[in-house]
Structure 1
Amino acid sequence: MKTLYIVRHAKSSWEYAGIKDIDRPLKKRGINDAHLMSKFLSKKIDRPDVFVSSSANRALHTAVIFCENFEYALSNLKIRKQLYSFSDGYLVKTVKALDDGFNSAIIFSHDHGINTFVNKFGSKPISHVTTCGVIGIQFEDKHWKNIKKGKTFMIEFPKNHK
């Protein structure tokens, strides 16, 4: 069995003129939400075997906060440039390329790709994954490359924990 947690990056800031989208930082609310969700999750689940993040600043900062609260070594955080995409194609490729030695993974990525992915591979329809939302899906497969349809067992959004 394989367990996947998908995390949409926390709330980012639009207030910096001229900054590239990939470089947008988290807002204070985003930082607070990332701590809130990662602390909640670290008490509810076993630490995932691998943490993988988009290279975008907002996703990476979210992942760093989760690493801190899960006591996961930052040196082991995997950064994937291809996850900075707003379609599910690279997310699917990233998940299917995970090493089978990892039975659980947590991936930090972006809006539209996450929404498409969780509806394609999960068992419960989700209309919109909010910022810092966490979706958990379990797959009966032994190999990541073979995942098809899994069971959605977790849908957690920051608003439910405030």
Structure 2
Amino acid sequence: MKTLYIVRHAKSSWDYNGIEDIDRPLKKRGIKDSHLMSKFLSKEIAKPDVFISSSANRALHTSVIFCENFEYPLSNLKIRRQLYSFSDGYLVKTVKALDDGFSSAIIFSHDHGINTFVNKFGNTPIAHVPTCGIIGIQFEEKHWKNIKKGKTIMTESPKNHK
């Protein structure tokens, strides 16, 4: 069995002129929500075997906060530029390429790709994953490359924890 947690990056700022989208930082609310949700999740589940983040500043900052609250070594955080994509293609490739030695993984990525992925691979329709939302999906597979439709085991958002 394989378990995947997907986290949409926390609320980011649009207040900076002249910076690329990939460099946008988290807002104060995003930082608070990242701590809130990572502390919640760290009490609900066993520490995932691998943490993987998009290279975008907002996703990376979110993942660093989760690493901190899970006591997961930052040196083990995997950063994937290809996850800075707004389609599910690279997210699917990333998941299916996971080492089969990992029974669980947590991935930090972006809006549209996550929404498409969780509706394609989970069994619960989800209209929209909010910022810092967490979706958990369990797969009855031994190999990540074979995942198909799984069971949605978690849908959490910051608004449910404030």
Structure 1: 4+ residue segments shifted above 3 A:
none
Supply the distance in 1 between the matched residues of 2:27 and 2:67 (Cα, whole angstroms): 19
Aligned 1:67-106 pairs, distance under 5 A: 67-106=67-106
Match of 1:22 in 2: 22
Gaps of 5+ in 1: none
Q: Secondary structure at the match of 1:107?
A: strand
Supply the distance in 2 between the matched residues of 1:142 and 1:44 (Cα, whole angstroms): 23
Q: Secondary structure at the match of 2:92?
A: helix
Q: Secondary structure at the match of 1:75?
A: helix
CA shift, 1:3, in A, is 0.1
Gaps of 5+ in 2: none
After superposition, what is the alpha-carbon deviation per residue over 1:61-91, rounded to whole angstroms, capped at 9, x for unaligned? 0000000000000000000000000000000
Letter in 1 for 2:57: N
CA shift, 1:101, in A, is 0.3
Letter in 1 for 2:128: H
After superposition, what is the alpha-carbon deviation per residue over 1:78-129, rounded to whole angstroms, capped at 9, x for unaligned? 0000000000000000000000000000000000000000000000000000
Q: Secondary structure at the match of 1:62?
A: helix
Letter in 2 for 1:136: G
Supply the distance in 2 between the matched residues of 1:20 and 1:54 (Cα, whole angstroms): 15
Aligned 1:42-57 pairs, distance under 5 A: 42-57=42-57
Q: Percent of aligned pairs with the same residue?
A: 86
Backbone CA RMSD of aligned residues:
0.2
Supply the distance in 1 between the matched residues of 2:32 and 2:158 (Cα, whole angstroms): 10
TM-score (norm 1): 1.00
Supply the distance in 2 between the matched residues of 1:98 and 1:81 (Cα, whole angstroms): 16
TM-score (norm 2): 1.00
Supply the distance in 1 between the matched residues of 2:86 and 2:25 (Cα, whole angstroms): 18
Match of 2:5 in 1: 5
Aligned 1:13-162 pairs, distance under 5 A: 13-162=13-162
Supply the distance in 2 between the matched residues of 1:97 and 1:23 (Cα, whole angstroms): 26
Q: Secondary structure at the match of 1:155?
A: strand
